[in-house]
A = this chain, B = another copy of it.
Amino acid sequence: MATKDSRAAGLAALASLVADETRAACLLALLDGRAWTAGELARHAGVAPSTLSEHLGRLVAGGLLAQERQGRHRYVRLADTRTAQLVEDLAAQVTPAGTARPRTLRESSAGSAMARGRTCYDHLAGRLGIAITDAFTERGLLRQDTGFALTDAGLRWYGAAGIPLDRSARRPLARACLDWTERRPHLAGAAGAALCRHALDAGWCVRIGSERAVRVTAPGERALHELLGIGREALC
Residues of chain A at the chain B interface (Cβ within 8 Å): 1-25, 27-29, 44, 46, 63, 82-83, 86-87, 89-91, 93-95, 97-98, 100-104, 107, 111, 143-152, 154-155, 167, 172-176, 189
Contact = CB atoms under 8 A, between A and B. Distances in A.
B86 A10 contact: no
Given A147-B147, A172-B147, A172-B176, A21 B8 contact: yes
A209 to B, nearest CB: 14
A148 B173 CA distance: 9
Contacts of A22: 8
A69 to B, nearest CB: 24
A150 B146 contact: yes
Contacts of A95: 7, 10
A101 to B, nearest CB: 8
A72 to B, nearest CB: 26
Contact of A11 (B4, B9, B11, B27): B27
A151 B155 contact: no
Nearest to A86: B93
Contacts of A173: 145-147
Copies per assembly:
2
A28 B97 CA distance: 23
- Determine which residue in A3, A22, A104, A150 has the highest number of CB atoms from chain B within 10 A of its CB, and name it: A3
A90 B13 CA distance: 11
B6 A98 contact: yes
Given A86-B89, A147-B189, A94 B19 contact: no
Contact of A16 (B19, B93, B107, B145): B19
A146 B150 CA distance: 5
A90 B154 contact: no
Nearest to A85: B89
Given A4-B25, A7-B94, A16-B19, A154 B146 contact: yes
Contacts of A154: 146
Contacts of A19: 12, 15-16, 18-19
